[in-house]
Structure 1
Amino acid sequence: MKYLIVGLGNPGSEYENTRHNIGFKILDALADASNIVFSDKRYGFIAEYKFKGRTFVLLKPTTFMNLSGKAVNYWLQKEKISFDNLLILTDDLALPFGTLRLRAKGGDAGHNGLKDIQQVMGRSDYARLRFGIGSDFRPGQQVDYVLEEWSKDEAAELPLKIDTCIEIIKSYGTIGVARTMNQFNKRK
């Protein structure tokens, strides 16, 4: 079985520790823990992770957040991965900081990366792991907020939350989205 795990974010050191780049941060942590390295390929940084007989193709798109669909579409086709085996890791303003929600499908909830994936793919029935970043910003300051670095308190909690995300990715590939949702979405 082969899976495409896409961490949404923006390339470049200026975005590295921003809230919007949580998808990249999760995949970087998985790669570091597994002693695998990303390679700069077409439309993204790619790494391959093996776990319990499954192959996880890890993708950090270099197309920038708002054009993520091009990279997702390209790598699904190139790696001959079923659309059913696609998992997108994304930030979510609607969830309190650190809240994790796995969904089998859904809308874009105003997220430009998800919006572009849905537009390019022509469908929205793909799994997504939503990482809550909270909404502690004034009206009109949403862009600044998502592109800010984590607060000191948030940064202290990130490693534990990211470890849970890695558990969710492994579970998604081994027991499926429904059972993984039942196991992890109830956790605080």
Structure 2
Amino acid sequence: MESPIRIVVGLGNPGEKYAATRHNVGFHWLDQLADTLHASFRVEAKFHGLCARATQDDTECWLLKPQTYMNASGLAVAAICRFYKIAPEQVLIVHDELDLEPGIVKLKSGGGAGGHNGLKSIIAQLSSQSFWRLRIGVGHPGNKHAVVDYVLHPPRKEEASHIEQAIDRSMRVWPLIAKGDLAAAMHQLHTRCDK
């Protein structure tokens, strides 16, 4: 059994203009989790974001949507981790993943940033790569020069449907993640994903 997750961070960019984009899938996931747990977000200036306190089976955790824009997400994550003395291993970052097709979702611990600016910022600010990541596939445009434009646009209709299914599937393993049974969560999620 791993350490229980004490904070879940959904990555995205603030503002209506970015709300439906591929890059904001982390915000979207966190909104769904907050709805499930009947948690409501409020502005927390000292954490540079929108925060909610949530409870799952007597386990309390924080939900955070950084409002710093993607490239500075680490400022918000580091601020709340320092304040509540949360170790990187107790952090789950939910983000869009270019290397996975829409409909695929993977859970993993550690690793590099893989070119994701939000992860780069978090690694730099925490001085650690050992946080958990829930990687929600959005696909790749096929050309590295098209990536920025691609992630800042909404997914096509059929992609959006696959992404929704992946989010729903990952929501089902949340109780396992919350209590720190991440190995079981990974097994269940990846077994379902790869069928």
Distance in 1 (CA, whole Å) between partners of 2:144 and 2:8 is: 33
Aligned residue runs from structure 1 range 30-49, under 5 A: 30-42=33-45, 43-49=48-54
Instruction: Tell me which amino acid in the other structure corresponds to 1:133.
Output: V
Shift of 1:137: 4.5
Contact 1:44 1:59 in 2 (8 A): yes
Distance in 1 (CA, whole Å) between partners of 2:63 and 2:69 is: 16
Contact 2:136 2:163 in 1 (8 A): no
Instruction: Tell me which amino acid in the other structure corresponds to 1:141.
Output: A
Shift of 1:168: 3.2
Q: Give the structure 1 partner of residue 117 of structure 2.
A: 112
Shift of 1:180: 1.7
Sequence identity (%) = 37
User: Residues 53 and 6 (structure 1 numbering): CA distance in 2 closer, same or farther, change over 3 Å?
Assistant: same
Aligned: 1:52 with 2:52: no
Aligned residues: 188
Aligned: 1:123 with 2:124: no
Shift of 1:160: 2.7
The one-character-per-residue Cα deviations of 1:39-84 (angstroms, maximum 9, x if unpaired) are 0112000011100111120000001110111100111122232322
Residue in structure 1 matching 2:8, options 5, 30, 33: 5
Q: Give the structure 1 partner of residue 95 of structure 2.
A: 90
Contact 1:70 1:117 in 2 (8 A): yes
Using the size of structure 2 for normalisation, the TM-score is 0.90
Shift of 1:132: 0.6
| Structure 1 residue ranges without an equivalent (≥5) | none
Contact 2:102 2:162 in 1 (8 A): no
Distance in 2 (CA, whole Å) between partners of 1:168 and 1:119 is: 29
| Structure 2 residue ranges without an equivalent (≥5) | none
User: Residues 2 and 177 (structure 1 numbering): CA distance in 2 closer, same or farther, change over 3 Å?
Assistant: closer
Q: Which moved more, 1:17-26 or 1:31-40?
A: 31-40
